[in-house]
Structure 1
Amino acid sequence: MYKLIIADDEARIRRGLRNSMNWNELNIEIIGEAEDGEIALNLAKEKMPNIMLVDICMPFVNGLDLIKQLKDITENCIIIIITGFDEFEYIHEALKLKVFDYILKPVNRDNLKETILKAVNELNKIEEKKNYLEWANRHLDDNLSALKASFLSKWLNGNLQHEDVVKELSFFNIKLGKNIGMIAIKVIERLNLDVYSNGWDKELINFAIINIAGDLLGDPESIVSFVDEDNNIIIITNIENIEEWLKIGSEIGDKVNSYIHYTVSIEQKKILNDILGVKNAYKDIIHDISKKRNYKPVVNLAVKYIDRNYFLNHLSLDSVSENLNLSPSYLSKLLKQETGLSFIDYLTSVRIKRAIDIMSDPTVKIYQIAELVGYNNQHYFCKAFKKITGFSPKEYRGGNNN
């Protein structure tokens, strides 16, 4: 039943309103009466009524002040003003406060009933809307993951206009800035031959990996995670510090291996042109990670070791082969067969890719970038950079390629 409070300083009017009709037939229960505005306000705070009949002139807190305060207490409470002809000038101000209706004294029973029926009808509409929104939210929660997956798939594959992407990101409360990066994670099945034998299915493994990555990346509102049709985990996130972000990939790999004992391949890419560049970044990162999935296990381990240690200026074929207990000549042969690149060419390509990512931060100087990606000689770094990109680092940073 709907709850009603009568607020009037005259006892006979309160009594008349209470006895004017069968309130139960209207699905209304009178839960309280007040002889002044202060009592009415306290009663409203305690009882949270659906309807209030309010005399416009009462002691302590008058009807208008009461209405103003009620708006902050009971958002959907319907307020009906009771006023006399000599108080009619207050009606305009009351209507500005968006009261539902007003009734003139002496109160006519038929007028009162008609107004109350309108109020009940309005409350029914509010209730129906509330029930519908609750129903819609329940169904939305049930389907939210599917809706989000559909959006991300369309976005990554370039099937949405920019304005649509912005709207969807807002709908899903995803807060991405202009400086964002993409991470692709793939379980290397050749290095996990018992990948599903321990009872973990793909969904559970992916869920665990996404949670591990999320813990390392931080703010959940700035993280977009998605598992594509080829079971690649794709994560898009804000980048606050490019150097720290580049280390995240190795940390994710270590945590995954430590916590759930799986070896994963990880690729990272700084996205150019913020959310407009997502399609191209996704295409490139999937190309890179797809190549690695077909490598022989030992080559996967080698490139994984190089990818996470590229910044060491003493990194060499000998140090990598020693770590893997292989001969340098055998590892060199395998790398060339699988990647199409010699050891030094593969290492150089990794270093230059990382240099391009770091270069997006204009505060990092060229010599610092060289040191961060493993070169202790800026001249040699510039030479290697131009060989890979066709531009010097300065030209690349100052042109249309950054």
Structure 2
Amino acid sequence: MYKLLIADDEAIIRKGLKNVIDWNKLDIEVAGEAEDGEVALKLVETLRPDIILLDICMPFLNGLELIKKIKDIDKNFIIIIITGYDEFEYTHEALKLKVFDYLLKPINKEELKNIIEKALQELSKNNERTSYITWANRQLHENLSSLIENFFNNLITGSIDDLEAKREMDFFRIKLGENIGIIIIKVIEKLNSEVISKKWDSMLLNFAIKNIAYELLQKFKPVYTFTDDENNVIVIVNISNMNKWVNVGTLIEEKFFKYLHYTIVTEQRNVTGGIFKVRAVYKNMVKQISKKIEFKPVVLLAIRFIDNNYYKNDLSLEIISKKFCLSSSYLSKLIKEETGLSFVDYVTSIRIKKAISIMDDPTVKIYQVAELVGYSNQHYFCKAFKKVTGLSPTEYRSG
């Protein structure tokens, strides 16, 4: 039942409005009466009536001021003003304030009934609109994570332009700064095929990867995870601490293997210049990870070991060969065939890649960078760095 408030300083008019039509038949309850503007405002605040019949000239708080205050409470109240022929100027001002309609004194029963029926139709439309908005908001809330995943997938693949992407980022309240980290994670199916078929499907595995990545990256909030069209799990974060960021991919691989006994590979980059710079980097990363998953299983395991232990200055081909029960010469040959690099060059490339990431933090000294990536000798690190990049670490950083 809808609620009606009658506000008029004349008791006889209030009584007449209450009795002139059968409100119950219209599914309306006369919830309150007010003899002046101040009382009317208090009743509006407490009763929250759907329809307000309001005399344009009221003591203490006149009709125009009252309308403004009522609109401040809720713009959806239906206000029907009661006015006389000599109050046309007030009526004109009230219409500017977007009152629903007006009634001229003396009030005609049929005219009142017609206006009230129009008001009921408007209330019905408002209720439908409110119900739809409530439903839409609920759907948005329930599907928000999926919608954000879809947005990021469209963003990195270039399915939406920058302008549309900015609009969607505002809508979803996505806040990403200038320094962004991206990780691509892939389950190596040929090393896990038996387990995958028996226990897990691909979707469930990706869900587990996202959860582990999210837990490990709490210091890099916000964290966004999604699955791309090639079933890679993508993680995008703001980088706040480069030292903590540089080994995140390795940590994800270790945690995933420890808890679920699955082998995954990762590609990790940091991007300067905002989210729109990620597209080109993403394409290159997908190519790199696609090459990795084509490697022979033993090479995959060997490079995974290298990727996880590159910072140890005693890392050697002999150590890795023993771990996988292979001869050093045979393992070296396999690594060269699959990666195109010798063992030493592959280790060097990984170390320099990590060093470049760390060097984005200007507070880390060059000798500290060298130590963090497995070089006990800064001179040797600088020599290796120049061989790979063509620049010395100092030149690279200053450029």
TM-score (norm 1): 0.84
Cα deviation for residue 147 of structure 1 reads 5.5
Aligned to 1:281: 281
Distance 1:268 1:200 in 2: 25
Deviations 1:135-180 (A, max 9, x none): 5556667876775555434322234322122223233332222211
Is 1:212 aligned with 2:212?
yes
Q: Flag the 1:73–1:326 CA change in 2: closer, same or farther, 3 A.
A: farther
Q: Flag the 1:187–1:33 CA change in 2: closer, same or farther, 3 A.
A: same
| Paired AA for residue 19 in structure 1 | N
Aligned to 1:239: 239
Distance 2:321 2:60 in 1: 89
8 Å contact kept, 1:190–1:296: no
Cα deviation for residue 377 of structure 1 reads 3.1
Cα deviation for residue 243 of structure 1 reads 1.7
| Paired AA for residue 218 in structure 1 | Q
8 Å contact kept, 2:336–2:342: yes
Distance 2:89 2:235 in 1: 63
Distance 1:389 1:348 in 2: 11
Distance 2:41 2:251 in 1: 58
Q: Flag the 1:61–1:174 CA change in 2: closer, same or farther, 3 A.
A: same
Map 1:164-243; keep pairs closer than 5 Å. 164-218=164-218, 222-243=222-243
Q: Secondary structure at the match of 2:247?
A: helix
Aligned to 2:107: 107
8 Å contact kept, 2:188–2:265: yes
Cα deviation for residue 210 of structure 1 reads 0.8
Q: Secondary structure at the match of 2:44?
A: helix
Cα deviation for residue 94 of structure 1 reads 4.7
Deviations 1:284-314 (A, max 9, x none): 2112212221223332222222212222333
Distance 1:58 1:9 in 2: 6
8 Å contact kept, 2:220–2:238: no
Distance 1:244 1:45 in 2: 54
Cα deviation for residue 182 of structure 1 reads 1.0
Aligned to 1:23: 23
Q: Flag the 1:91–1:251 CA change in 2: closer, same or farther, 3 A.
A: farther
| Paired AA for residue 70 in structure 2 | L
Aligned to 2:293: 293
Cα deviation for residue 129 of structure 1 reads 2.5
Deviations 1:43-72 (A, max 9, x none): 434432221123345566655554444345
Deviations 1:334-357 (A, max 9, x none): 322332222221111111112222
Q: Flag the 1:39–1:229 CA change in 2: closer, same or farther, 3 A.
A: same
Q: Secondary structure at the match of 2:337?
A: helix
Deviations 1:180-215 (A, max 9, x none): 121111112233243324432111111121122122
Q: Secondary structure at the match of 1:262?
A: coil
Distance 1:188 1:365 in 2: 37
Aligned to 2:78: 78
Distance 1:96 1:361 in 2: 59
Distance 1:85 1:222 in 2: 62
Q: Secondary structure at the match of 2:368?
A: helix
Distance 1:365 1:94 in 2: 71
Q: Flag the 1:70–1:394 CA change in 2: closer, same or farther, 3 A.
A: same
| Paired AA for residue 341 in structure 1 | L
Aligned to 1:342: 342
Is 1:304 aligned with 2:299?
no
Unaligned runs of 5+ in 1: none
Deviations 1:318-366 (A, max 9, x none): 4444555555444333322332222221111111112222333344443
Distance 2:24 2:113 in 1: 13
Aligned to 1:264: 264
Cα deviation for residue 91 of structure 1 reads 5.0
- Structure 1 window deviating more from structure 2 (32-41 vs 299-308): it is 32-41
TM-score (norm 2): 0.85
Distance 1:320 1:220 in 2: 33
Distance 2:102 2:359 in 1: 69
Deviations 1:82-137 (A, max 9, x none): 34567666556655654334444443434433443443333233233334434555
Distance 2:44 2:318 in 1: 81
Map 1:139-154; keep pairs closer than 5 Å. 148=148, 150-154=150-154
**Aligned Cα RMSD in Å?**
3.3
8 Å contact kept, 1:174–1:221: no
8 Å contact kept, 1:191–1:263: yes
Q: Flag the 1:316–1:91 CA change in 2: closer, same or farther, 3 A.
A: farther
Aligned to 2:393: 393
- Structure 1 window deviating more from structure 2 (239-248 vs 374-383): it is 374-383
Q: How many residues align?
A: 399
Unaligned runs of 5+ in 2: none
Aligned to 1:353: 353
Distance 1:155 1:338 in 2: 32
